[in-house]
């Protein structure tokens, strides 16, 4: 489901990871799926190319300075054309990373799996227009910001009675320092030797990583963006603010588009919990991602949608919102029973030698149709949001 501008309904956006990956190589992306802003940028680029081509016809000395001025102006305009920022929001495990990987045709680019509840790393994906390497630029929190946050985390252990908050704080501290970190003081935890493997953090500089392929860059950045219970003390995401990944050979799509994989809510530090909220206002397009089985009941997804609509009404950057359901090809074995369906309802018969596969396919189509109708109904109700 999509909004564009002031609540104009658009075509539904289906998603199947396998189909999308295969199709992307042939078509990236189709004009029907591009935002109006993206289309305008392409039109402007085409006009500038035509003007630049025409200039070749005028090479006499009397117009040389004028031609040079126009060429320089076109070059500056080309640099200043604003990119479309696509913010990809969704609950942990909703399939955001798999969606982005599929759209880019890179199955191994973004690490996927179970992120910690308090992971707060913004991952930005853009084109590498300089060479054929995969690059990552890791931006850390300032030393002072982490010290302030660490103080609040340690306070949670002694003062907070909320088990979920304690769990979240413990996950963050042990990820960076190991199990011993929970019992140490802030002064101990801020000693320089604690950050010997990430000297860039202490120097307030950006860490750069370069690899030859997507799989290697994914392996190299995983400890900066993802929690790993098997490696306490070896995960650096608690002190990472954002990771920018630059990929080659996708310039046609990413030259004027930036994809931003944003963390969900739930961080025990309010400042970091606001990261995605502030980033939302910078997004010209928003993709809200939810598993199809949870799409109707997903509270976070619908809160994000409400916030996006409000932002549009208040003059924010956002001009297009899409609600994307993932995992549409998954189905539980007891769907027919829970949905109270019979073979005749799905136009199948148990005598068919391919009964099992046809039953699953029919159940998937039925479930997806029902989910789409319910999501569409809730989506259209966003008209009732009261703008403060």
Q: What is the pLDDT of residues 30-86, one digit of tens each?
A: 334 445 655 666 677 778 777 777 777 766 656 777 777 777 777 666 655 667 888
Per the model's pLDDT, the better-predicted residue between 386 and 365 turns out to be: 365
Q: Which residues of 23-52 are buried (b: 16+ CB within 10 A; e: fewer)?
A: ebeeeeeeeeebbebbeebeeeeeebeeee
Cα torsion at 252, 304, 22, 367 (round to 10°)? -150
Among 121-130, 168-177, 309-318, the range scoring the smallest mean pLDDT is 309-318
Q: Which two tokens stand for residue 212?
A: 């030859």
What pLDDT score was predicted for residue 233? 85
Place of tokens 């090479």: 59
Per the model's pLDDT, the better-predicted residue between 254 and 18 turns out to be: 254
pLDDT tens for 101-154 read 888 888 888 887 544 444 568 899 999 988 999 999 999 999 999 999 999 888
What pLDDT score was predicted for residue 106? 86
Q: Is the pLDDT at 14 greater than 80, yes or no?
A: no
What pLDDT score was predicted for residue 30? 36
Per the model's pLDDT, the better-predicted residue between 192 and 267 turns out to be: 192
The DSSP call for residue 237 is: G
Residue 266, φ and ψ in degrees, nearest 5: 115, 5
Largest CA distance in the chain: 86
Neighbouring C-beta atoms of residue 59, cutoff 10 Å: 9
Q: Which two tokens stand for residue 28?
A: 């990236």
Beta strand 134-140 with 207-211: parallel, antiparallel or unpaired? Answer: antiparallel
Q: Is the pLDDT at 191 greater than 90, yes or no?
A: yes
> Using 50, 70 and 90 to split pLDDT, how confident is the model at 245?
very high
Per the model's pLDDT, the better-predicted residue between 9 and 208 turns out to be: 208
Tell me the pLDDT of the chain averaged across its residues: 77
Neighbouring C-beta atoms of residue 84, cutoff 10 Å: 22
Q: Is the pLDDT at 174 greater than 70, yes or no?
A: yes
Q: Is 371 left (phi over 0), alpha (psi -120 to 50) or beta?
A: alpha
Range of 10-14, 22-26, 138-142 with top mean pLDDT: 138-142
Q: Is the pLDDT at 249 greater than 90, yes or no?
A: no
Average pLDDT over residues 295-319: 69
Model-wide pTM > 0.85: no
Average pLDDT over residues 269-287: 67
What pLDDT score was predicted for residue 119? 52
Share of the chain above pLDDT 90, in %: 28
Average pLDDT over residues 75-100: 76
Q: How far apart are CA 254 and CA 16, in angstroms?
A: 21
Average pLDDT over residues 259-284: 65
Q: Is the pLDDT at 266 greater than 70, yes or no?
A: no
Query: What's the Cα-to-Cα distance from 267 to each of 117, 168, 173, 280, rounded to whole Å?
Result: 7, 7, 13, 17
Q: Is the pLDDT at 313 greater than 60, yes or no?
A: no
How buried is 53 (Cβ within 10 angstroms: 0-12 exposed, 13-18 middle, 19+ buried)? exposed
């Amino acid at each position: 489901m999509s909004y564009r501008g002031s609540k104009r309904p658009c075509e539904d956006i289906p998603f199947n990871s396998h189909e999308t990956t295969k199709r992307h190589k042939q078509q990236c992306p189709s004009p029907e799926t591009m935002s109006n802003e993206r289309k305008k940028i392409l039109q402007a680029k085409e006009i500038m190319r035509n003007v630049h081509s025409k200039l070749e016809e005028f090479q006499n000395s009397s117009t040389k300075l004028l031609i040079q001025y126009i060429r320089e102006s076109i070059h500056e305009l080309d640099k200043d054309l604003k990119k479309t920022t696509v913010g990809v929001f969704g609950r942990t495990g909703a399939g955001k990373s798999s969606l982005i990987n599929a759209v880019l045709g890179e199955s191994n680019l973004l690490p996927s799996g179970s992120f910690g509840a308090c992971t707060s790393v913004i991952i930005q994906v853009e084109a590498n227009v300089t060479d054929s390497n995969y690059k990552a630029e890791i931006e850390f929190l300032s030393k002072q910001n982490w010290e302030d946050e660490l103080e609040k985390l340690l306070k949670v252990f002694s003062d907070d009675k909320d088990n979920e908050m304690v769990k979240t704080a413990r996950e963050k501290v042990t990820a960076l320092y190991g199990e011993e970190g929970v019992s140490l003081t802030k002064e101990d935890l801020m000693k320089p030797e604690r950050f010997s493997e990430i000297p860039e953090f202490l120097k307030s500089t950006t860490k750069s990583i370069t690899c030859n392929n997507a799989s290697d860059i994914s392996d190299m950045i995983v400890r900066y963006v993802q929690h790993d219970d098997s490696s306490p003390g070896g995960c650096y995401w608690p002190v990472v603010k954002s990771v920018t990944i630059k990929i080659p050979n996708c310039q046609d799509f990413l030259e004027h588009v930036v994809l931003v994989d944003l963390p969900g809510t739930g961080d025990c530090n309010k400042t970091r919990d606001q990261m995605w909220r502030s980033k939302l206002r910078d997004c010209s397009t928003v993709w809200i991602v939810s598993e199809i089985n949870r799409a109707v009941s997903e509270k976070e997804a619908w809160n994000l949608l409400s916030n996006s609509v409000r932002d549009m009404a208040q003059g924010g950057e956002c001009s297009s919102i899409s609600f994307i359901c993932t995992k549409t090809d998954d189905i539980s074995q007891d769907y027919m029973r829970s949905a109270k369906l019979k073979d005749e309802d799905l136009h199948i018969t148990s005598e068919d030698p391919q009964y099992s596969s046809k039953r699953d396919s029919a159940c998937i189509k039925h479930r997806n149709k029902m989910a789409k109708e319910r999501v569409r109904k809730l989506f259209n109700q966003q008209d009732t949001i009261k703008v403060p």
